[in-house]
Amino acid sequence: MSSDDNSTKANQSSGDSGDLAAILASGGARKKGSRWLWRAAAIVVLVGAGYGYYVYSSEATAYTYATSPATKGDLTVLVTATGSVEPTVQVDVSSEQSGTVREVLVDYNSTVRKGEVIARLDTARFEADVKSAEAALLASNAAVAKAEADMNSARVSMERQKTLVGNRVSTQQDLDSARYNYEAAVATKASAEANVQAAEASLEQSKVTLAKATIMSPIDGIVLSRDVDPGATVAASLQAPTLFKIAGDLRKMELQVDIDEADVGQVAVGQQATFTVDAFPDKRFPAEITQIRYASETINDVVTYMGILTVRNDDLLLRQGMTATADIVVQAIRDSLLVPNAALRYTPPESLGARRQSSSMFSLFRPPRMGSITAPEPAGGERTVWVMRNNVPTAVNIEIGASDGQNTVVTKGDISEGDKLIIDATAKSG
């Protein structure tokens, strides 16, 4: 081998050594760079995890919850209706006769008895009619007496003619004439007796007319109104004006209320109630449903049915026409688990649910959730309430019963007395 060949080999060997060194140097640089990349990635991951936890923690404490406990107690379901207090018996008194009022014997609030005279009309004309009828009756009786005498005379004459005809002293024609006169006398007497009956009826009518000039109370009670004074002229007709209003015993009254058609199905005869009137706002009066009328009434486009409640008024505090508001007890439930209605209306804030369900790279690093975030789907007649358990809102499905507008009976569900039910949530500021 020549020196040139050796020199070429040496140069090749030197070049190979340089390439290897370069490769080794490049590999070391890549290894060092990869180490820095891993360190940077780890830092990013840690920062993201910390930020995600911070966001999660911020979301979890972003609301302040107002709660109300589940309680054991009684619940009364009421139907409210308005109406007025009225007497159980009220009579409008008018005059059956036309005339001039001579005297009025009662005033407002007068206590009267059945048959007691409360007013009189001028009776001069009516008394004259009675006397005239009495005279007519006397004349009729006299006519009967004369007719009877004439009849007796005709009978005697007829009997005489019969004898004379038998003795052939008188003719048959004379007998027939006597018989005719007798029969006419009998008819005249019958007519006179009928006239007596007519005269008696006329006299009776005159006496009735005279009696009707005296106005009497038809019932025991109290005079509520008096709309007539002495000297006033009264005209009797089908639309005769009311002179007096008389109420029966005011110690027993009735409350007439308008029950809404939406509530009438819950109201029944025998149910108890209490009511108030504006005159005594702090006093509640007891009452009892005695009648629910089938006929409807429409008031301001609202269909109602009249309910009648009996009321004792022994102390006479209640007066006719007083406006009243009644609370009728349609259901009374004892010793039941109750939840506030506000808890049934509560739903968690939508913004909280949206943030919790959002997807981001930081959600991978959030701690596990505690409690239900969205309520399980209620079945049938179930309702969902939210209970604070371990300081976390938890959805619970329950079945409910009657409600009084403030609280509702729980018939089934994972709720116990004292559980704190969420009724409101307020976002924290800052």
Q: Does residue 230 belong to any structural domain of this protein?
A: no
Q: Domain containing 214 — which CATH number?
A: 1.10.287
Whether 182 and 279 share a structural domain: no
pLDDT of 281: 94
Q: Are residues 326 and 361 in the same domain?
A: no
**Same structural domain, 52 and 68:** no
pLDDT value for 3: 45
pLDDT (tens digit, 9 = 90+) per residue, 219-235? 999 999 999 999 999 98
Domain end marker among 290, 305, 333:
333
* 127 and 217, same domain (yes or no): yes
Q: Are residues 176 and 129 in the same domain?
A: yes
Whether residue 228 lies inside any domain: the answer is no
Is pLDDT larger for residue 32 or for residue 328?
328
pLDDT band at 204 (very low <50, low <70, confident <90, very high): very high
Q: Residue 23: pLDDT above 50?
A: no
Judge if 118 and 181 occupy the same domain. yes
Asked if pLDDT for residue 25 goes beyond 60, the answer is: no
- The tokens describing 276, both together, are 């108030």
- Digit-coded pLDDT (tens) for 206-218: 999 999 999 999 9
pTM over 0.85: no
Q: How far apart are CA 390 and CA 396, in angstroms?
A: 14
In the sheet that holds 244-247, the strands lie side by side as: 90-93, 244-247, 221-226, 111-112
Domain count, the chain: 4
Q: Are residues 97 and 23 in the same domain?
A: no
pLDDT bin (cut points 50, 70, 90) of residue 54 is low
Residue 171: per-residue pLDDT: 79
User: Can you read off the two tokens belonging to residue 33?
Assistant: 């760079």
**111 contacts 222 by C-beta, under 8 angstroms:** yes
- Residue for token pair 């009137």: 277
Low-confidence winner among 34-43, 60-69, 203-212 (lowest mean pLDDT): 34-43
Q: Out of 148-152, 252-256, 384-388, which region has the weakest mean confidence (pLDDT)?
A: 148-152
Identify the CATH number of the domain in which residue 253 sits. 2.40.30.170
- The last residue of one of the domains, among 333, 353, 369, is 333
Cβ 398 vs Cβ 410: under 8 Å: yes
Give the domain range for residue 53: 1-58
Whether 349 maps to a domain, the answer reads: yes
420: confidence class by pLDDT, cuts 50, 70, 90: very high
Q: Does residue 80 register a pLDDT over 70?
A: yes
> Is residue 331 scored above 80 in pLDDT?
yes
Does residue 241 sit within a domain?
Answer: no
User: Which pLDDT score, from 0 to 100, does residue 8 have?
Assistant: 43
Q: How confident is the model at residue 107 (pLDDT cuts 50, 70, 90)?
A: very high
| Three-state secondary structure readout of 203-259 | HHHHHHHHHHCEEECCCCEEEEEECCCCCCEECCCCCCCCCEEEECCCCEEEEEEEE
Q: Of 193, 204, 203, 207, whose CA–CA distance to 140 is shortest?
A: 193
User: Does residue 185 carry a pLDDT above 80?
Assistant: yes
pLDDT at 366 over 50: no
Q: Looking at the structure, do residues 257 and 310 belong to the same domain, yes or no?
A: yes
Give residue 57's pLDDT: 52
**Tokens, residue 341:** 């209605």
State the Cα–Cα distance between residues 394 and 373, nearest whole angstrom: 7
Report yes or no on 235 lying in a domain. Answer: no
Is residue 54 in some structural domain?
Answer: yes
Q: How would residue 10 be classed by pLDDT, with cut points 50, 70 and 90?
A: very low
The residue among 333, 357, 385 that closes a domain is: 333
Same domain assignment for residues 114 and 149 = yes
Number of neighbouring beta carbons within 10 Å of residue 150: 18
> Does 373 reside within a domain?
yes
Of residues 158 and 51, more confidence is placed in 158
Domain identity same for 51 and 148: no
Distance from chain centroid for Cα 107: 36
Highest mean pLDDT: which range of 148-162, 297-311, 366-380: 297-311
Note the pLDDT of residue 33.
Answer: 53
- Model confidence at 179, in pLDDT bands (50, 70, 90)? confident
CATH of the domain at 415: 2.40.420.20
Question: Is 244 a domain residue?
Answer: no
The two tokens of residue 388 are 């604070």
Using 50, 70 and 90 to split pLDDT, how confident is the model at 371?
very low
Q: Do residue 95 and residue 39 come from a single domain?
A: no
Pick from 19-28, 133-142, 274-283: least confident: 19-28
204 with 111, same domain: the answer is yes
d(CA 346, CA 410): 16
51: confidence class by pLDDT, cuts 50, 70, 90: low
CB atoms within 10 A of CB 283: 11
Q: Quick one: average pLDDT of 19-42? A: 55
Q: Indicate if the pLDDT at residue 36 is higher than 90.
A: no
| 3-state SS record for 27-89 | HHHHHHHHHHHHHHHHHHHHHHHHHHHHHHHHHHCCEEEEEEECEEEEEEEEEEEEEEEEECC
